[in-house]
Structure 1
Amino acid sequence: MSTETPTIPAETARHVLSMFGAGGYPPGRFGRQLLELIAGADRQNMARLAMTFPAEVEAVRMAQYDEDGIAKLQAIANGQAAA
């Protein structure tokens, strides 16, 4: 993955939050399948996906692995923070 952290749009944060049962709202069919693919990817394939979908990969990574990732995504979704 890139060393630069991508900006996560509020809509992406809401979709990821929905996927992890933490609020937000669900994406459409393609978005849901993409987020599920990212969430289940190993490191190598996640890096490949990040080349095309950097914001989505970063948001899923935050939700899965950051201790306060859900809170950060909630702040982004509510317009209280930029990421």
Structure 2
Amino acid sequence: MTTPTIPAETANHVLAHFGRGGYQAGTFTQHLIAALCAADMDNKAKLATAYPDYAAAVIAMEYDPDGAAHLQRIAAGEAAA
């Protein structure tokens, strides 16, 4: 399985949700991010089939010690996902 690309917009939305910068998403996307945060890993995987970039960004924030910094670099255009 390949790691999905996280676009700058997705990084910004997820960062904003976690209070780490970025900018707020629209209502649906805010609910999607909240659902991904509330989901167990099985349900995260199911949501990832439809929204791989958002799932990857949320998982990075939740489980990767460098996740916030990585998403901040993507959001600033300094790193590819």
TM-score for the superposition, normalised by structure 1: 0.96
Counterparts of 1:28 and 1:50, CA distance in 2 = 19
| Overall identity of the aligned pairs, in % | 52
1:41-67 Cα deviation digits (max 9, x unpaired): 001100100000000000000011100
> Which residue type is aligned with residue 25 of structure 1?
Y
Matched residue pairs, number?
81
Which of residues 25, 28, 37 in structure 2 aligns to 1:27?
25
Gaps of 5+ in 2: none
Give 4+ residue runs of structure 1 displaced > 3 Å after superposition: none
What is the CA–CA distance in structure 2 between the aligned matches of 1:24 and 1:47, rounded to whole Å? 24
Distance 1:19 1:54 in 2: 17
User: Aligned partners of 1:74 and 1:39: how far apart in 2?
Assistant: 19
Residues 1:43 and 2:41 are matched in the alignment: yes
Quote how far apart the aligned CAs of 1:16 are: 0.2
Q: CA RMSD in A?
A: 0.4
Q: Which runs of 5+ in 1 are unaligned?
A: none
**Structure 2 length-normalised TM:** 0.98
